[in-house]
């Protein structure tokens, strides 16, 4: 069975079209990968590249992009509204199909090792973290690029790869392995923000909810509704229909119904297996029954 790995490379350049085009060209010229998305944001001054393919090809894409980006981007001059600490800021590798966590970790560490070898300080995060306090991107990136000179004086922030010193031009890079995120939002037929917030509190892991759910309550002013906005960080262990059914029940306890739900962005085919199993009671449904699966090798 063919393996599919996904890489989502966050680069700190979102305004200079020539530079973005030069870097994008490196990805387009990488063999054996399929580009899913190239998304530049001017305010963030950031471009997110997303591509998939066999693990070796995906790794080659990351190296090709990074070489060019490190050549063109000088972090000492970078300004943008999105938190960042490096020219190549964050590079998660995401197993999509027939790739084990261990296989993805090997790829992430080969990428991190290469970055270190060309002089970029590298931190491993999420599943690739070498210490628990480096699992969270937010923790590693705290203070952003501007905090790096100070951090680099502290043994606690010794990088996992590359030099233990501040590199003004490249900054530092965070890479690692994470499961595919499923962004799942549920809109409630009420404008009482408090209800969305209370449900979000019940749903999310950090306050007693489901193990792989992050959730916040938000107002949707134009729609005069509120939203429970969630990230599902492991759809195998906390499947979408489990989240949906719990939130539906919680909403009922406030006399509120779900107006609509949203799956935002890409969803791995495997995440739909549990939707069919739970929602239609087809407990033996296998994703390989999908005709198109045969074309994926």
Residues of this chain that bind its own copies (CB under 8 A): 4, 6, 34, 36, 52, 96-97, 180, 186, 240-241, 244, 258-263, 265-269, 272, 275-276, 279-285, 289-296
CB closer to its own copies out of 47 and 187: 187
β 122-126/4-11 pair status: unpaired
**Residue among 117 and 289 whose Cβ is closer to its own copies:** 289
63, two tokens: 């190296």
Catalytic annotation on 294? no
| Token pair in block for residue 158 | 């010794």
Q: Between 157 and 244, name the residue whose CB sits nearer to its own copies.
A: 244
Angle between helices 55-72 and 17-28 (to 10 degrees): 160
Question: How far apart are CB 5 and its own copies at their closest, in Å?
Answer: 11
Residue 21 beta carbon to its own copies: minimum distance, rounded to whole angstroms: 21
The CB-of-43 to its own copies minimum distance in angstroms stands at: 25
DSSP code per residue over 145-201 = HHHHHHHTTSGGG--SBS-SS--TTTB-EEEEE-PPPEEEEEEES---HHHHHHHHH
Least distance to its own copies, CB of residue 279, Å: 3
- The burial class, CB within 10 Å (0-12 / 13-18 / 19+), for 12 is buried
Give CA–CA dist 142/148, Å, rounded. Answer: 9
Q: Which is nearer to its own copies, 120 or 181 (CB)?
A: 181
* C-alpha span between 70 and 61 (Å, rounded): 14
Residues known to be catalytic: 82
């Amino acid at each position: 069975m063919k393996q599919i790995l996904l890489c989502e490379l966050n680069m700190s350049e979102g305004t200079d079209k020539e530079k973005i085009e030069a870097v994008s060209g490196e990805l387009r010229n990488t063999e054996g990968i399929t580009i899913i998305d190239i998304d530049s944001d001017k305010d963030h001054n950031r471009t997110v590249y997303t591509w998939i393919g066999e693990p070796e090809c995906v790794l080659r894409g990351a190296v090709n992009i990074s070489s060019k980006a490190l050549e063109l981007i000088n972090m000492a001059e970078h300004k943008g509204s999105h938190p960042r600490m490096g020219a190549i800021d964050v590079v998660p590798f995401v197993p999509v199909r027939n790739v084990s966590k261990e296989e993805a970790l090997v790829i992430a560490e080969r990428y991190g090792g290469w970055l270190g070898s060309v002089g970029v300080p590298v931190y491993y995060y999420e599943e690739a973290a070498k210490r628990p306090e480096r699992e969270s991107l937010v923790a590693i990136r705290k203070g952003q690029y501007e905090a790096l000179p100070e951090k680099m004086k502290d043994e606690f922030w010794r990088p996992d790869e590359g030099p233990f010193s501040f590199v003004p031009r490249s900054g530092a890079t965070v890479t690692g392995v994470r499961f595919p995120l499923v962004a799942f939002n549920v809109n409630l037929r009420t404008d009482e923000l408090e209800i969305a917030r209370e449900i979000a509190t019940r749903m999310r892991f950090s306050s007693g909810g489901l193990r792989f759910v992050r959730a916040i309550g938000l107002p949707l002013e134009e729609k005069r509704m509120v939203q429970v906005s969630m990230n599902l960080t492991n759809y195998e262990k906390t499947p979408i229909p489990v989240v949906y059914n719990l939130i539906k029940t919680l909403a009922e306890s406030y006399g509120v119904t779900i107006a609509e739900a949203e799956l935002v962005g890409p969803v791995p085919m495997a995440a739909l297996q549990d939707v069919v199993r739970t929602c239609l009671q087809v407990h033996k449904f296998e994703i390989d029954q999908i005709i198109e699966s045969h074309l994926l090798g």
